[in-house]
A and B are shown apart, each in its own frame.
Chain A
Amino acid sequence: MSDVIINSIIIVSAMGLAAALILFVVAKKFHVVEDPRIEQVEEELPAANCGGCGYPGCRAFAEALVNSDDISELNCPVSSNEAMGKIASILGKEIGEKEPLVAVVRCGGTPDHRPKTNIYDGASSCTIESSLYTGESGCPYGCLGLGECVEACSFDAIHMNPETMLPEVVDDLCTACNACVKACPRGIIELRKKNKKDRKIYVSCINQEKGGVARKNCKVACIGCGKCVKVCPYEAITLENNLAYIDPYKCRLCRKCAPECPTNAILEINFPVKKKQEAAAG
């Protein structure tokens, strides 16, 4: 009886030892040397896996950061400058200073401005609607309002406004990861330089049709009249294909262009009310 117990103990222990030996040899032989810094760097990254850096997830980006000699071109759009600085100090490399960006929706076609010409009742997807039709208004460039950009955002930073039927960006939450820009089939959303106090001046339209046609379909369309181009003292505004564009890096927020626009297509956001208007109001 006791033999059976002793034999069993011996056999099981021998098997265990043999297995442990194999595991030990294999672990030594196939040991993967992983830079411990990858783990450290990954911890500093936001773990949103949004893909805004161009790599498939934060882990891959961390590996890229550790493995490349020059990381000034690599940038996580979501991390703050401090977080990136911390990563740079872990790695002992120079990190490029990035300019904060924010997503801007360049369409002002609310139902008041852009009357409905037809009804779309197909699949609820901007990409499909855009490939089949111009949308529910006559403007072939404007927002379709089905919210693919909202679905694309991992940071809950873009929402549909039920009144205007247009998406709105929450500046504080937007990390400029580029996901909404890629999701929009019409290319309405653009990443622009973030200014002090979230101030913005931009042309809220991307319609490239001739002025008359654009105006007929939407009251706040850019008609390509060029008045803003003439008034800009910094040559920040260019007119191409009947559409004005304000270069955010040249613009100094002087606010001369917006009052010139005959269709109010240029928007000024988060500015204090102008003194003149205050005087007029007072």
Chain B
Amino acid sequence: MITTFPKGGIHPPEDKFSAGSPIRELPLPKTVTIPICQHLGAPSEPLVKKGDKVKTGQIIAKSSGFVSANIHSSVTGTVARIDKAMDSSGYRRDAIFINTEEDVWQEGIDTGSNLVKTIHSGREEIIQKTLEAGIVGLGGATFPSHIKLSVPKGKKVDVLIINGIECEPCLTSDHRLMLEKGEEIMIGIRLIMTALGVSRAVIGIENNKKDAISHLGSLARDYQGIEVQALRVKYPQGAEKQLIKAIINREVPSGKLPVEVGAVVHNVGTAFAVYEAIQKNKPLIERVVTVTGKDLARPSNLLVRIGTPVSELIEAAGGLPENTGKIVNGGPMMGKALNSLDVPVTKGTSGILVIPDKESFRKPVVNCIRCAKCVSICPMGLQPYLLRAASEYKKWDIVENEHAMDCMECGSCSYICPSGIPLLDYIKLGKATVSKIIRTRKQ
């Protein structure tokens, strides 16, 4: 049976131009810029200094806290400098610059394409290796994965949900990964299941990826406990809480984590990265990035080393079209417009979207007409129009009481608003302020 989540949701045009193009490996860039904070949480501490020689896969920055992740060199070469580099918001943050030389991998990494099926690792070893490999949630939130692999004391998890939804329009990297690395993903899921101690895993895939559903479905016959669930297309189905509701019909309480209802969600990309880390000893140094756009010559799915500048990706996809108005890091719904093409690919970059001139501007803002479209489509059941007004007039108590902190910033409200009001911008401001207020209250 095809299911979906019940509350809200929208249907933006899918525009998956690159769905048919197989994953290509991008040639090594001349230099890479590896930011020391590519994950949610504390920035990592650099372990190298200027002039150091590094090998591909060598650790160059160490996790600096519980919520933090290791960072590895994605190329072989010399550390040129540790300096500020522009991130996708335009602000400059610390990064390690490496000049590329001939690719030499760190000892002990299996770089072959052979499939390693037998699992030797136990629970502790899988979690430890995931931590060492610097794996973070590759769906986009970049939350360190090792934390999600260890079940907190007193909690019980009975089902693992694998997110193969890719509900963002335009993006196809997870889709291609499922088609081309299906077997690896299955073994990765097995590894995650071992770490969590669960016997059931469900892969959720939206019904617009029928080939992926049938491919993984046929593979799943050989893996006991893993099943594939087709879901009706609706944005934002890839959001953790919506996905849990859609697949196992459990509702995560406000302000709580999925583990509360006995579920853990991981992305297919993360499952693949876990496979590589444990079976091949390979840290997270590359990822699949969709480079797409209406007027782009060759919309592609590229296997890219972390730290590669965005300009090289666009070059590989046929070069920047002349009518480009905006380049977005991520999907069209939640992505961020880039300030410069020198911004590097990070662990959280799922796509690069080139938007033509005409479509890159927002609608002019007019008054709210109280149509309540934002209320009916909000997948979290919030009232975006009210949150916006409360944020604009700095009524932070109302923002908090109306559960702004439950907002996952999917952008459906800004998308649907007929008055062109940037609802999400205001809600983000409200969330940031309220979380600051909550933090000071706790102290």
Instruction: Tell me the A residues contacting B by CB distance below 8 Å.
Output: 117-119, 121-125, 127-128, 131-135, 138, 140, 209-210, 213
Contacts and interface: CB of A to CB of B under 8 A. Distances in A.
B422 A134 contact: no
Contact of A128 (B339, B365, B429): B429
Given A118-B337, A121-B361, A133-B339, A138 B426 contact: no
A131 B436 CA distance: 14
A127 B429 contact: yes
Contacts of A121: 361-362
Contact of A123 (B92, B422, B432): B422
Contacts of B426: 123, 125, 128
A31 B112 CA distance: 89
A131 B90 contact: no
Contacts of A131: 428-429, 432
B197 to A, nearest CB: 40
B396 to A, nearest CB: 13
A210 B84 CA distance: 10
A125 B425 CA distance: 9
A133 B361 CA distance: 16
A155 B329 CA distance: 43
Interface residues of B, number: 19
A128 B337 contact: no
Interface in B395-443: 422, 425-426, 428-429, 432
Nearest to B87: A134
The 3 residue pairs across chains A and B that have the minimum distance between CB atoms: A134-B90, A123-B425, A123-B422
B89 interface: yes
A179 to B, nearest CB: 13
Nearest to A120: B337
B339 A125 contact: no
27 contacts: A117-B339, A117-B340, A118-B339, A119-B361, A122-B362, A122-B422, A123-B429, A125-B392, A125-B426, A125-B429, A128-B426, A128-B429, A131-B432, A132-B336, A132-B425, A133-B89, A133-B90, A133-B337, A133-B339, A134-B89, A134-B339, A135-B90, A138-B339, A140-B90, A209-B92, A210-B84, A213-B92
Contacts of A213: 84, 92
Interface of A, helix, strand, loop or mixed by DSSP: loop
A125 B428 CA distance: 12
Nearest to A125: B429
A134 B425 CA distance: 15
A132 B432 CA distance: 11
B66 interface: no
Contacts of B429: 123, 125, 127-128, 131
A140 B425 contact: no
Contacts of A117: 339-340
Contacts of B336: 132
B50 to A, nearest CB: 15
Interface in B323-378: 336-337, 339-340, 361-362, 365
Given A122-B362, A128-B429, 14 more contacts: A118-B90, A118-B337, A121-B361, A123-B422, A123-B429, A125-B429, A127-B429, A128-B425, A128-B428, A133-B89, A133-B337, A134-B89, A138-B90, A138-B339
A51 B434 CA distance: 22
A126 B286 CA distance: 36
Nearest to B339: A118
A7 to B, nearest CB: 56
A38 B365 CA distance: 47
Contacts of A125: 392, 425-426, 429
Contacts of A138: 90, 339
A210 B365 CA distance: 38
A149 to B, nearest CB: 15
Nearest to B91: A140
Nearest to B89: A133
B429 to A, nearest CB: 5
Contacts of B89: 132-134
Contacts of B339: 117-118, 133-134, 138
Contacts of B92: 140, 209, 213
A140 B84 CA distance: 12
A124 B362 CA distance: 13
B434 to A, nearest CB: 13
Interface string B74-111: 00000000001000011110000000000000000000
Nearest to A134: B90
A122 B336 CA distance: 12
Contacts of B365: 124
B404 to A, nearest CB: 14
Nearest to A118: B339
Contacts of B422: 122-123
A131 B433 CA distance: 11
Contacts of B392: 125
